[in-house]
């Protein structure tokens, strides 16, 4: 059993200038890691941040993040930076400026490095062996957005994970852990609902 983990990536998503190796270790043009520049703090690699979740059952929510309130004169309510660049938005905001990408689901997180057959990238695996694409680069490249991911656990697995993490031998320790979990759940809830203010 794995420990409960959760992450929230939020900011402007863009491609690394350095090529990323494919399944065979070959550096290929146009195959670059997706990076996120948060409003504060260091730039983060989407791959490096999500890598610990690969192969685990997760709950994931991904969406473009418009201005608050949305600016309806801007593509994607202000989430799309392709309008300012005068370019072709890979998500299609140049044709449908008022749409927003929003997807959530539960399954096993898969990262396929084999882009030769168009199967590379992020996927959510289902118990029946099928999989659903998570088009992170297509939907987030050049956009402000969010990716919220947490390991999906049953109540019993979460309880066991908390017991193994220690500091649960006292009422104060339990209270601190409960408060941490409340804050985490509230943050994930805001991320899924698209509310920037807590």
| Among the listed residues 42, 46, 34, the one whose alpha carbon sits nearest the alpha carbon of residue 8 | 46
Strand 121-125 and strand 131-134: the pairing is antiparallel
Please give the pLDDT value at position 97.
Answer: 93
**Contact (Cβ atoms closer than 8 angstroms) between residue 45 and residue 16:** yes
The pLDDT value recorded for residue 130 is 87
- What global pTM score does this model have? 0.73
Closest CA to 145 of 4, 44, 16: 44
Extents of the domains making up the chain: 6-153
Could you tell me how many helices (H) and strands (E) the chain has, helices first? Answer: 5, 8
d(CA 84, CA 79): 11
Q: What confidence score (pLDDT) does residue 111 get?
A: 87
C-beta of residue 131 within 8 angstroms of C-beta of residue 110: yes
Place of tokens 């959510």: 124
User: What pLDDT score was predicted for residue 106?
Assistant: 92
Which secondary-structure segment (H or E) carries 33? strand 27-37
- pLDDT at position 4 is 79
CB 136, CB 15: distance < 8 Å:
no
pLDDT (0 to 100) of residue 10: 94
- Cα distance between residue 193 and residue 182, in whole Å: 16
Q: What is the phi/psi pair of residue 83, to 5°?
A: -60, -45
pLDDT at 66: 93
In angstroms, how far is CA 52 from the centroid of its own chain? Answer: 13
Give the helix ranges, DSSP H, for the chain.
Answer: 46-50, 82-85, 136-140, 155-164, 171-193
Closest CA relative to residue 90, chosen from 181, 14, 155 = 14
Residue stretches of the chain with pLDDT short of 70 = 1-2, 18-32, 114-120, 154-177, 179-181, 183-184, 187-198
Q: Which residues contact 128 (CB under 8 A, 6 or more apart)?
A: none
């Amino acid at each position: 059993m794995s420990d409960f983990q959760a992450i929230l990536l939020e900011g402007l998503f863009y491609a690394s200038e350095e090529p990323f190796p494919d399944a065979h270790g070959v550096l290929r043009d146009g195959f670059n890691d997706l990076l996120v520049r948060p409003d504060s703090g260091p730039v983060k690699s989407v791959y490096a941040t999500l890598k610990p979740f690969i192969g685990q059952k997760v709950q994931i929510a991904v969406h473009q993040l418009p201005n608050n309130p949305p600016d309806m004169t801007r593509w994607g309510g202000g989430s799309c930076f392709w309008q300012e660049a005068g370019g072709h938005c890979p998500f299609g905001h140049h044709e449908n400026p008022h749409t927003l990408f929003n997807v959530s689901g539960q399954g096993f997180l898969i990262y396929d490095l084999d882009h030769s057959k168009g199967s590379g990238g992020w996927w959510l695996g289902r118990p029946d062996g099928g999989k659903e694409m998570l088009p992170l680069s297509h939907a987030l490249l050049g956009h402000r957005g969010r990716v919220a991911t947490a390991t999906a656990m049953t109540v019993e697995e979460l309880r066991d994970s908390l017991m193994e993490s220690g500091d649960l031998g006292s009422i104060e320790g339990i209270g601190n852990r409960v408060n941490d979990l409340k804050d985490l759940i509230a943050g994930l809830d805001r991320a899924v609902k698209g509310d920037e203010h807590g």
